Amino acid sequence: TAATLGLLPLGKTQSPESLLDIAARKVAEKWPFQQVEERFERIPEPVQRRIVYWSFPRSEREICMYSSFN
C-alpha cells in the first residue's frame, strides 16, 4: 500500500475522490461557472458549490492575478 511504501504518513489512508468532485472538476476546467448557470436549469446546490470550489484558482500566482484591481 502507499503507507507501507512511505508515500503517506502512517495511519493515514487516501480515500478516492467522489464522483461529484470528479465531475465538478471536469466541468470547472472547461466552462466558467456563469455559463454553467445560464445553460443548465435547476443545478442542485451541492453541485453548484463543488463547481465553484473547483473553479477557484489553485496557484498563488493566479490568485494574485485575479485579485488585482488593475
In this structure, which long-range contacts are made by residues 25-30, counting pairs with CB atoms below 8 Å and at least 24 apart in sequence?
A: 25/54, 27/51, 27/54, 28/52, 28/53, 28/54, 28/55, 29/54
Give per-10-residue mean pLDDT for the chain (70 aa): 53 80 94 90 92 85 69
- At 41 the pLDDT is 86
pTM above 0.75, yes or no: no
- At 1 the pLDDT is 47
- At 30 the pLDDT is 93
- At 20 the pLDDT is 94
